[in-house]
Structure 1
Amino acid sequence: MNHAPGRASTVIALTGATGFIGNALRERLLAAGHAVRALYRPRRGRVMPQAPGLTWVAGDLADRDALAALVNGATAVVHCAGNVRGARRDDFDLVNEKGVADIVQAARGTTGCDRFLLISSLAAREPQLSDYARSKRLGEQALQAHAGHLTWVALRPPAVYGPGDREMLPLFEGMARGLAPIPGDGRGRFSMIHVADLASAVVAWLAVESESGAIHELHDGHARGYDWDTVLATASRVLRDGARIRRLRIPTPCLRAVAGVNLLAARLFGYAPMLTPGKVREITHADWTCDNADFVQATGWQPAIGFAEGLAQTFGKPPVALNGVSQ
């Protein structure tokens, strides 16, 4: 692991900078001393936050001129933009595969840009499960195919949560009210990571010289991931002062039926669904645990936020004291 002096003053081109993960990345990159050039989709009345070292570039991943402006003068690209909702395969592939190929090619054609980091997903490990998972794997392959001289890495985070999250928040809010919907048989294991730790992992990779072509999984340091017993016990302490959280098991056939109707309605009425048959296969998959040992060795990064502390932060609560120690 060789640290690269001076990288903290570089210009980082960032996509997805207005989303949940992108917001955390933008703030962490600026705090680390990087200048950030961030892509955003303009719309009437939209006012972007301002900060020293931050420049906004109007456009989207389909706008080649905007991509050229985004990467011009940047030394590295952090590609966070992605699509998690869709009614058809093309809804995912257009952003998660073609979008990667387009910005990689833009970065490769820019003098001085030599590094590229892709925020992928742990779902890419199981591309057969859903169109989303498949598109994330294809995005990694597009990066590999088009990277050329760029030193690149793809990070595969598991479930990401923290302040500002909208995807996992309804589940946690249900737990705070004393009810936890559990998909399928509830026997699976899964890893998680707080959004601040994911952002710090990106900064850690930018701070070191590394070999090109690695794909790393990340997690919060909890060995072998979590099961529902552990999650509910922690949520009980953090959110309910030890009060019981009742499980509401949702059988997989029921989830499939609802997802099928939702997908049909989405195609008829033109909205982007979250719950689809593919998503059901994802959330009932038995093993979403990670091993981040290779990334830790390559960068020296260590996750800092355990689930109890992260859950408390998500709800704006003080840290929970476990066995007399604040966690």
Structure 2
Amino acid sequence: MTRALVTGASGFVGSRLCRELMEHGYQVRAFCRKGSKTDVLGSLEVDIAYGDIRDRESIERAMEDVEVVFHIAALFRQAKFPDQVYYDINAGGVKNVFEVAVNKGAKKVIHCSTVGVHSHIPNPPANEEEDYRPGDIYQETKCEGEKLALSYLRSGKISGAVIRPAMIWGPGDMRMLKLFRGIARRRFPLIGSGETLVHWVLVDDLVRAFRLAAETDGIDGEVFIIAGERPVKLRYLLEKVAEFYGVKLLPFRIPALPVQILGSIVEIACIPFGIEPPIYRRRVDFFTKTRAFDSSKAKKLLGYAPAQSFEDEVKIIGSWYKEQGLI
């Protein structure tokens, strides 16, 4: 029975990964911050280790007798945190995990990066050789974290690989609720042309890819983009959600530029108060920046394959929101 540590185990991806590993015979230790909602782990018989990715001693305690480390923990976009906190977690935390893994004798680390290190894709689809083009503090620090991870993985000190997920969604994802609910209630306008490409990966497909990477030999220092069946135009995404809920999209669209300007103003205005802006540039990027990816490397070397079509993923997520009484 392989002994695994999952950082960020109380999060959307980390909790699903714990379940995936348990279902395939792993002995799992879940690394969680004190105060985090561990109820998402449900009835899983995991060993919970509390700590902070910035606290090396807590990582050392959690990594006792661990063979494989899945480093999922990260700080996502939140306006209330200064830039240094992003660096401390998304870059410094990576260094802590790898140094402890090497010193503790772990065999392998699978590191979670993001396709956000590429930001906008000028000539889609992008593969793993695409240039780094981080566009905000989250992407910048995840990029630094990926480079740190690769420096360890390519040094011969420890085995493992880097996973770059496309935009992640699935049952349990609360970030997409606003979009689904807004469309269902006919309150979600299209911003921009709707012609930009978006590419998702179902969380269940992603965690399977993490497990496959841990179980595949000969991939040390490799990077894998993990994405769903295909990219789609943003307008098509909105149409499919509307179709699922039996409504029509709003008959107008809003030009992107005024919303981008408004987002910039609102962001600046919210900084002194440390509050999350209701609209900001990053949200507008969702409507204006193309993101489409090629997962053929993962399919070839890991045996990865998305289990659902894009259309079925929309139905799965839309159904979950309805079942939970959220829509």
Q: Does the alignment reach a TM-score above 0.5?
A: yes
**Stretches of structure 1 lacking an aligned partner (at least 5 in a row):** 1-8, 319-327
Partner SS for 1:283: helix
1:264 shift after superposition: 2.4
1:204 shift after superposition: 1.6
Residue identity in the other structure for 1:213? G
The answer on 1:155 being equivalent to 2:159 is no
Question: Which stretch shows the higher mean deviation, 35-44 or 48-57?
Answer: 48-57
1:5 matched to which residue of 2? none
What count of residue pairs does the alignment treat as equivalent? Answer: 304
1:184 matched to which residue of 2? 192
1:173 shift after superposition: 1.4
**TM-score, scaled to structure 2:** 0.84
Q: Contact 1:180/1:247 (CA < 8 Å) preserved in 2? A: no
Supply the distance in 2 between the matched residues of 1:274 and 1:108 (Cα, whole angstroms). Answer: 42
1:256 matched to which residue of 2? 260
The answer on 1:90 being equivalent to 2:94 is no
The answer on 1:78 being equivalent to 2:70 is yes
Partner SS for 2:99: helix
1:99 matched to which residue of 2? 93
1:104 shift after superposition: 1.2
The answer on 1:42 being equivalent to 2:34 is yes
1:210 matched to which residue of 2? 218
Supply the distance in 2 between the matched residues of 1:11 and 1:248 (Cα, whole angstroms). Answer: 54
Partner SS for 2:188: strand
The answer on 1:122 being equivalent to 2:115 is yes
Q: Deviations over 1:217-256 (max 9, x none)?
A: 111122xx1002321332233222xx42226534333332
1:14 matched to which residue of 2? 6
2:177 matched to which residue of 1? 169
Query: Percent same amino acid at aligned positions?
Result: 22
The answer on 1:298 being equivalent to 2:287 is no
Question: Which stretch shows the higher mean deviation, 126-135 or 281-290?
Answer: 281-290
1:53-68 mapped onto 2 (5 Å cutoff): 53-68=45-60
Q: Quick one: structure 1 residues 70 and 48, their matched pair in 2 at CA, closer, same or farther if it must change by over 3 Å?
A: farther
Q: Quick one: structure 1 residues 22 and 272, their matched pair in 2 at CA, closer, same or farther if it must change by over 3 Å?
A: farther
Residue identity in the other structure for 2:58? A
2:204 matched to which residue of 1? 196
**Stretches of structure 2 lacking an aligned partner (at least 5 in a row):** 120-132, 322-327
1:284 shift after superposition: 4.4
Q: Quick one: structure 1 residues 85 and 272, their matched pair in 2 at CA, closer, same or farther if it must change by over 3 Å?
A: farther
Supply the distance in 2 between the matched residues of 1:231 and 1:172 (Cα, whole angstroms). Answer: 10
1:288 matched to which residue of 2? 291
1:109 matched to which residue of 2? 103
Q: Deviations over 1:264-300 (max 9, x none)?
A: 24421224558543x1574245320010000111111
Partner SS for 2:232: coil
Q: Quick one: structure 1 residues 31 and 219, their matched pair in 2 at CA, closer, same or farther if it must change by over 3 Å?
A: same
